[in-house]
Amino acid sequence: MPFFDEQDTDITLDTVQGDTELPSGYSTQSFKIDFENGRILSQLTDLPETVRQQAAIAIMTERGVHTVLGDDFGAQIRETIATAPTREVAALEIDEDIRDALVDDLRISDVTNIVVERVGEDKAQVYVEIDVDGELVTVEQEV
């Protein structure tokens, strides 16, 4: 199944900037990801699971590490944990970084209740609530 239908294949930045609705023909489906075993399954998911998976990937991907994803994809949580002078500064920077990593997704209406708990020297457990088309989706991801 293609991401865009054949009638509307030209979606440009101008088409989506400032819009709150998905462009015509934009697919809400994705392949299901088995995060525990690191596998992409042949099953398809739909909203809101598709957005939950995308958010988990964005949260666990260090920004700028994978050039194929672009310079703005992901978050800098591990780096912030390792370099922030205090836990309070780290919490503020991580909160902002997670919001930045998620708000560009047109399917996400709001990002709320971000909680980051440190798990060891350079790891954290991230909890985020995301509003997807009026439905609250919880993302839990270790980074």
What tens digit of pLDDT does each residue of 46-94 get? Answer: 888 888 888 898 888 888 777 777 777 888 888 887 788 887 888 888 8
Q: What's the total number of domains in the chain?
A: 1
Q: Are 137 and 112 in contact (CB under 8 A)?
A: no
Tell whether 88 is covered by a domain.
yes
Q: How far apart are CA 11 and CA 123, in angstroms?
A: 38
- Is residue 32 predicted with pLDDT exceeding 60? yes
Q: Are 102 and 139 in contact (CB under 8 A)?
A: no
At 24 the pLDDT is 55
pLDDT tens column, 14-25: 444 444 455 554
Q: Which residues contact 108 (CB under 8 A, 6 or more apart)?
A: 51, 55, 102, 130, 131, 132
Residue 131 belongs to domain with CATH number = 3.10.450.40
Structural domain of residue 37, as residue ranges? 13-142
Q: Which residues of 103-121 are buried (b: 16+ CB within 10 A; e: fewer)?
A: eebebbeebeebebeeeee
Tell whether 6 is covered by a domain.
no
What is the arithmetic mean of pLDDT over 98-122? 83
